[in-house]
Homo-oligomer: A and B are copies of this chain.
């Protein structure tokens, strides 16, 4: 059986192109990085647990991608440029095929974002993957959750709800055409972190976050921390291509509450619309204007006819859902 050191060396001691940050990588007590002078370091941690965030039999290559993607998504939501990440991994056994595929998925995405694996830990235990990611951002330019202003437009990147649709297929809430399920599932298993958009929005957007638990719940964090309210135009929400083929009620519900999309939701002054669209174009990421920040607390939903909608919505929470 592979030893702990063999494991790290064999699958994860990955030789990316030299970069200016990493001074000392995998293999010592600590990794050392040299931050760019004057920049702030953005740090985020996500822990993914088998049976909770992914199926126990999840494809390991897609799983490797997803574990890093959700962390890069947090950097994107802050407008930070990725530098590196550490990986802690609890595995029931050291399965060579699984590890090979997992590392391939993980490191391919890391390469794509010049985000270097700088260190980590492996241990035996129920499958658990914990990544901590590091990025850089100039002081004062972070897209914080508490920065939404009354009058701001609310925007969302890409499309919503296909990941939730896939889950409905797995849970057999819905009977889905196999093709549709498969394509929606790709969205669930291989999310695209909107790093380029986050960088382009520096100096333009006010507040931002990534949608991991559902739009209404996550937008609620911006509203609460910024001390504002909002109106959302529910029928303007950009439903994913698979969800668009479903009935309108389902479309609304999954767009509003479906998690796992990892799109950015952000606010920007109404007089910055052109700049937002230019940032979207520069980063090749579609964006849609979906509502407005208002002084009145709470979240109000409207349909295409400007009529108020009463929907029973619940965001995802790890300790209040079964």
B residues in contact with A132, CB < 8 Å:
43, 45, 86, 88, 132
- Chain A 1-38: CB-based contact to B (< 8 A → 1; otherwise 0): 11111010000000000000001100111111111011
Q: Select which of B47, B50, B118, B139 is within 8 A of A130 by beta carbon.
A: B47
- Chain A 80-107: CB-based contact to B (< 8 A → 1; otherwise 0): 1000001111100110000000000000
- For the complex, is A128 an interface residue (Cβ under 8 Å from B)? yes
Q: Select which of B40, B118, B210 is within 8 A of A29 by beta carbon.
A: B210
CA distance A35 to B39 in the complex (A): 8
Question: Are B24 and A118 closer than 8 Å at their CB atoms?
Answer: no
Query: Can you name the residue of chain B whose Cβ is closest to the Cβ of A38?
Result: B37
Q: Select which of B2, B119, B121 is within 8 A of A319 by beta carbon.
A: B2
Question: Are A49 and B124 closer than 8 Å at their CB atoms?
Answer: yes
B residues in contact with A123, CB < 8 Å:
47-49, 52-53, 318
28 A-B residue pairs with Cβ-Cβ distance under 8 Å, sorted by A, are: A1-B319, A3-B317, A4-B317, A4-B320, A23-B40, A27-B145, A28-B78, A28-B146, A28-B209, A29-B75, A29-B145, A29-B208, A32-B40, A32-B137, A33-B40, A34-B40, A34-B41, A37-B38, A43-B118, A43-B119, A45-B88, A45-B121, A47-B130, A51-B125, A52-B125, A90-B128, A122-B319, A124-B318
B residues in contact with A261, CB < 8 Å:
none
Q: Select which of B29, B74, B124 is within 8 A of A209 by beta carbon.
A: B29
**A45-81 interface (Cβ within 8 A of B):** 45-53, 74-75, 77-78, 80
- Chain A 236-266: CB-based contact to B (< 8 A → 1; otherwise 0): 0000000000000000000000000000000
B residues in contact with A46, CB < 8 Å:
88, 121
B residues in contact with A23, CB < 8 Å:
40, 139
CA distance A218 to B160 in the complex (A): 49
Copies of this chain, count: 2
B residues in contact with A5, CB < 8 Å:
317
B residues in contact with A185, CB < 8 Å:
none
- Chain A 310-322: CB-based contact to B (< 8 A → 1; otherwise 0): 0000000111100
Minimum CB–CB distance for A148 against chain B, Å = 13
Question: Are B44 and A30 closer than 8 Å at their CB atoms?
Answer: yes
Query: Can you name the residue of chain B whose Cβ is closest to the Cβ of A213?
Result: B4
Question: Are A319 and B28 closer than 8 Å at their CB atoms?
Answer: no
Minimum CB–CB distance for A304 against chain B, Å = 31
B residues in contact with A94, CB < 8 Å:
319
- For the complex, is A297 an interface residue (Cβ under 8 Å from B)? no
- For the complex, is A169 an interface residue (Cβ under 8 Å from B)? no
- For the complex, is A189 an interface residue (Cβ under 8 Å from B)? no
Q: Select which of B31, B42, B93, B130 is within 8 A of A88 by beta carbon.
A: B130
B residues in contact with A74, CB < 8 Å:
29-30
